Structure 1
Amino acid sequence: MQIVPRQQRGALVLAVSGDLDIDNVAPLGAALSTAARDGSGPVVVELSEVNFADSTTVNVLLQGQTALGPRLRLAAPSPFMERLIGLLGLDSALPVFPTVAEAVDPSLPS
């Protein structure tokens, strides 16, 4: 698992790649906690390169939502993540956008 942070139009984008599980998801939780303490803009978790995620990952994302509220946005889910989000109904708790650009600026046309 790897996280590459970048700034994009006032938002912190965390590009996550690889497999996310109990053994390696802690850095994502730490990045979300840091973003909650240090920033005020949107925090976008880009999921296009995530091949696998377990329940620990879901927990980390929900804890991030608790800390960040509507600032936390998921973007560009991989086919695996899209299926996981749909099966768990995560999209009812977290906003999910088809692209990073739309997550950064939801007023953009789809």
Structure 2
Amino acid sequence: MNRFSVIYLHRKQYHHLYSATQAEADALLAELASRKGHTPIGSYDAKTELFSWKPDLQQHYDQATIEEQGKSGDYMIRIAQELRQHDQSTAEQRLQAMAQPQLFSTNEV
């Protein structure tokens, strides 16, 4: 199961990678930090619906007001959920397309 989503920015857009464990998510965050043009943000746990910030961002988050913490936390959770939902609906569309009968035969004589 892909319990965790590792959230990062690439070309000013949010993206995510799935991982099964928190340790795997942490390793992905470290790997993304070394990739040029990738800005790791943190990881989302789909089971608990909680977001964990990358350590340097966690310090910034901890210094924010309660109101700012709530807004930024909710924002990142919403981003993660939308990315996961997009992947799920894309996969469902692919399955439906594969289930539809072909209009042209692919058998060669």
* TM-score bracket, shorter-length normalisation: 0.3 to 0.5
Identify the structure with bigger relative contact order (alpha carbons < 8 Å, sequence gap 6+).
1
Rg (Cα) greater in structure:
2
Q: TM-score, normalised by structure 2?
A: 0.35
